[in-house]
Amino acid sequence: MITQLNPPLPMVTPKGDGWAHFVIDYGPESALLWVVFMDADGACWIVPNPEVRICHNWTMGRRKPADLKVHLQQPDEPPAATPAPQRFRPSLAHQSES
């Protein structure tokens, strides 16, 4: 089965960055195949699923591996004067008793 992606997905492949316009599924015994058009020269490549990654998107929480390492690293000793950041916890509205 071939499926056209609308909108196309930005992908990172071994051949470089590009946009996936189609995905081919030959069934459970085969990896998905992505039809990707390369940014650099417009070449069309079919890339097996294990070799593609979706592009990084900081807003959606998909950070570059180097940024993620820095984000997840914890200092050896946290500074004593800096309080831990508080997580945002929304409160539910309560009905008044009237």
Cα–Cα distance between 46 and 32 in angstroms, integer?
A: 10
- Smallest CA-to-CA distance from 10 within 37, 31, 44, 32 is with 37
Tokens found for residue 87: 């997580």
pTM of the model: 0.62
The runs of H, that is alpha helices, within 8-94 are: 65-72
Domains of the chain by residue range: 2-72
Tell me which DSSP letter residue 81 carries.
S
* pLDDT on residue 41: 95
Task: Read off φ and ψ for residue 69, nearest 5 degrees.
Answer: -60, -45
CATH number of 2-72: 2.40.10
* pLDDT on residue 55: 78
Cα–Cα distance between 33 and 84 in angstroms, integer?
A: 45
Residue ranges, the chain, pLDDT below 70: 57-98
* pLDDT on residue 88: 57
pLDDT digits (tens, 9 = 90+) for 65-93: 666 565 556 555 555 566 666 665 555 55
